[in-house]
């Protein structure tokens, strides 16, 4: 079985690339030559024109959230709108929890 490929994202270009293991070397965008961000094997890129989805994705990736394959159900919950991201960021600031932990939790309370 071939090794699993993972997605790498260029936020300025709004582009995603599936690539295999590169031995630890830094990957660069073929369009702009900026470094790519590893998004994980279960990542599904939004349409290039969907600016709100790319802004949401930018917040998630910059907070350290990745889309790794889970055992049976994929990467788990990820916010899909800026509104969901903002309410989770406010909650994180109020409680002092790390952003990455709050962003991947499906329910904020309870």
Q: What are the DSSP E strand ranges found in 1-110?
A: 6-10, 15-19, 37-40
- Tens of pLDDT, residue by residue over 86-102, are 999 999 999 999 988 89
**Cα 36 to Cα 13, 46, 68, 88, distances in angstroms:** 10, 16, 16, 26
Query: CA angle at residue 84 from 79 to 85, to 5 degrees?
Result: 75
* Secondary structure (3-state) at 18: strand
pLDDT in tens, 31-81: 999 999 999 888 999 999 999 999 999 999 999 988 887 666 666 788 888
- The model's pTM is 0.80
Closest C-alpha among 55, 59, 68 to residue 100: 59
């Amino acid at each position: 079985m071939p090794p699993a490929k993972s997605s790498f994202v260029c936020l300025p270009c709004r582009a995603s690339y599936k690539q295999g293991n590169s031995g630890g070397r830094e990957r660069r965008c073929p369009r702009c030559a900026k470094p790519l961000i590893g998004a994980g094997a279960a990542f599904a890129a939004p349409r290039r024109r969907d600016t709100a989805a790319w802004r949401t994705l930018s917040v998630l990736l910059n907070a350290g959230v990745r889309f790794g394959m889970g055992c049976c159900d994929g990467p788990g919950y990820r916010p899909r709108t800026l509104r969901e991201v903002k309410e989770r960021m406010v909650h994180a600031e109020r409680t002092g929890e790390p952003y990455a932990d709050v962003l991947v939790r499906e329910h904020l309370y309870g």
